[in-house]
Copies of this chain bind each other. A is one copy, B any other.
């Protein structure tokens, strides 16, 4: 959805890495795995990324950090999402309706599993936060006791 510009959007690896809070090594590693390849390369061999690549990188990081998926799981999630976004492309119009339904079913299933997982994580984090708050109350009590004893 970023500007369909004249591919003047050529980002260097260091810039992309910094924007996503990762190292250049991470980007090279993702390329090695086939997870994220630069939009192009200079004649000299330097990688050039587009805005879409940055979005994909941020998505990878979200799935990794927030959801705890490993890179193989992330690859399959992204593959499904890629197929899904192909459904909007004209060249895809020739695919059979049955095939499209298949892809949709796959994406819906992944979506449902992820939603369930997020809800479990939210629940666990809520109770974790509750524990922390309860402990904080205890600490405040102890500090009050100590203050009363010491009269500092």
List chain A positions with a Cβ less than 8 A from chain B. Answer: 62, 65-68, 84, 87, 97-98, 100-101, 104, 107-108, 111-112, 114-115, 118-119, 121-122, 124-126, 128-129, 132-133, 135-136, 139-140, 142-143, 146, 149-150, 152
Contact = CB atoms under 8 A, between A and B. Distances in A.
Nearest to A88: B142
Q: How many copies does the complex hold?
A: 2
Given A125-B125, A126-B122, A128-B66, A133 B115 contact: yes
Nearest to A96: B150
A143 B112 CA distance: 15
A19 B101 CA distance: 42
A147 B126 CA distance: 40
B133 A125 contact: no
B122 A125 contact: yes
B97 A143 contact: no
Given A97-B146, A129-B115, A136-B108, A122 B122 contact: yes
A123 to B, nearest CB: 10
A84 B128 CA distance: 18
A139 B111 contact: yes
15 contacts: A62-B128, A65-B68, A66-B128, A87-B142, A97-B146, A97-B149, A100-B146, A101-B150, A104-B139, A108-B136, A115-B136, A118-B125, A118-B128, A118-B132, A122-B126
